[in-house]
Structure 1
Amino acid sequence: MTADLPLPGLAETPTAPNQAKADHRGHRERLRTRFLEAPEALPDYELLELLLGAAIPQKDTKPLAKALIKRFGSFADVITADAEDLKTVDGVKDVAAATLKVVREAAIRLARAPVINTSVISSWDVLLDYCRTAMNTLPTEQFRLLFLDRKNTLIADEVQQTGTVDHTPLYPREVVKRALALHASAIIMVHNRTCRRPISHSIQ
């Protein structure tokens, strides 16, 4: 007895896995199109979904994106979370964590670009925006030093200390030592609990 054959002209019904893959690809393409047309219209979880899709191309990343939002609170909170904390969420491995952290570093560098090679005193609002971008959402306290030359141009931007959730040590001797090594004429000291008004000191 011969096996039944499909009727002529009718294709076989796709298997469930194949159909799922096709639906997944179609969804991601539609999401990408929506982003290119109106990026500001995407909710936080869909923006994360696109990012995670670059790191995990073979997987539907919507559930993972929603899990991250539920765990951390918002897109900004996810991006600024510590890499090890990100990996506590099931499905986030090294590649996904690194992809998310790249976005934060890109934001910091974009904010810093207008400050480089310009007088920071004459671009105070730009400097404040950069400090907020780099420090406001950090989970622990941080003390950052901005070293300036005689023209108040930024010559170095360094994290002097990273502390706990409510404490950051400051060692004046190390600050002065570093300033002398860089031949800095002034220092702007920024703490993320008070980054609305950075403290500026000239070196005599």
Structure 2
Amino acid sequence: MIVVKIVILGLFALLISFGMVTQSYAHTTVEVEKYKIEAGWGIEPPVVGIRNSIVFKIIEPGEREGTYTGITSAFQNLDATAMYGGASKNIEINSDPKPGYYFSPIIPTKTGSYLVDLQGEIRGVVVDIQIPVEDVESTSVLDFPPKASEGSADVSALKNAISSLQQDISKLKSGETTTSSNGGEAYDFAIFGLSIAAAAIILAIIALVKRK
């Protein structure tokens, strides 16, 4: 039982460390022949339940080297579909006053990864691509003051996991708790469990420090 407990503590700490990983936000640009198509969220980070827009920039090389020109009426023969898991929705594209810029209002209803599927053609150039956009976050990234002291809860949980792990290690060393009667294999499994737990807790602590 003690080995199982150790492994569970390790997995718990590992899950906490994953939850502390911060994400960076950026638009994604793909090239279709001479055209560059950029897609992303109008407001970053995108938050579930809050009105946002999927924005596009479609450009081509200008007359001078290193310059680019926005493409007008790019979606005249181009369809855009927002995709999430197995769900999809054809989205209406609006033109921004700035040439080459477009947007489609949307309220993301679930956290996670979204894609934009573009099918059709731009001035005779066939377009058949899927562009990933930034993951949608929960409202906790914008909550102020926080609904709950999540950081404190994480630290407290880690402290409890470390304390429990230290007690289990002490019991194993003192012989107060035995692994089982089959000797070497059980002992090796216990050490393996301790290693997993220790590594997971270290990862959680590193993630916590980076988040601060």
The structure with more helix, counted as a fraction of residues = 1
Taking structure 1 as the reference length, what is the TM-score of the superposition?
A: 0.24
Q: Which has the higher contact order (CA 8 A, sep 6+)?
A: 2
The structure with more strand, counted as a fraction of residues = 2
Taking structure 2 as the reference length, what is the TM-score of the superposition?
A: 0.24
